[in-house]
């Protein structure tokens, strides 16, 4: 096929108009969408693969780099995963809780109502018992969006 390159992620530009076969450069192919990256990283969290803090940090970068709008199923699963890590009674380090809290703050930029509803649900469920990272997350939300 004329004008095609078998290199992954690259397409050749057309040859010089004068009929010469000089290639003028390469154009990178479009990368994965933010939604695809978030879905992949969410699956890694759900399957307990790799370092959770690192995965949360990658998620945070992906969310900051895109428009932030996610499909409702992905959004709900991500909120549930992060909120589960924040509330976990044992087996979760403070570093993981902090990273999960940061994800909820990042999600609140485009899905504030959903994140706030989740956090309010935790406060109602504990009946006044202090859950440090729920309060920490609420504090971050107030300073970021208040």
* 9 Rama sector, left if φ>0, alpha if ψ -120 to 50, beta otherwise: left
The domain in which residue 76 lies consists of 34-145
* Cα 101 from Cα 134, distance rounded (Å): 8
Nearest CA among 101, 89, 17 for reference residue 56: 101
Q: Are 47 and 82 in contact (CB under 8 A)?
A: no
Domain match, 45 and 5 both? no
Domain match, 67 and 10 both? no
Note the pTM of the prediction, 2 decimals: 0.71
pLDDT digits over 67-111, tens only? 767 899 999 999 999 999 988 878 899 999 999 999 999 999 889
* Cα 101 from Cα 43, distance rounded (Å): 18
Count the alpha carbons within 13 Å of 32 in the hemisphere toward its beta carbon: 9
Domain match, 23 and 61 both? no
Task: Please state the rounded mean pLDDT for residues 23-45.
Answer: 76
Nearest CA among 77, 76, 101 for reference residue 93: 101
pLDDT digits over 46-56, tens only? 999 999 999 99
Q: What total of structural domains would you count in the chain?
A: 2
């Amino acid at each position: 096929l004329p004008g095609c390159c078998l290199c992954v992620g690259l397409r050749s530009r057309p040859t010089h108009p004068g009929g010469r076969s000089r290639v003028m450069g390469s154009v990178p192919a479009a990368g994965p969408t933010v939604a695809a990256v978030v879905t992949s990283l969410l699956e890694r969290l759900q399957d307990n693969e790799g370092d959770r803090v690192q995965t949360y940090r990658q998620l945070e970068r992906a969310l900051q780099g895109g428009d932030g709008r996610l499909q409702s199923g992905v959004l709900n699963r991500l909120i549930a995963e992060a909120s589960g890590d924040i509330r976990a009674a044992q087996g979760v380090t403070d570093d993981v809780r902090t990273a999960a809290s940061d994800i909820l703050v990042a999600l609140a930029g485009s899905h504030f109502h959903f994140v706030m509803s989740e956090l309010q649900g935790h406060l109602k469920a504990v009946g006044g018992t202090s859950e440090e990272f729920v309060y920490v997350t609420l504090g971050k939300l107030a300073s970021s969006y208040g």
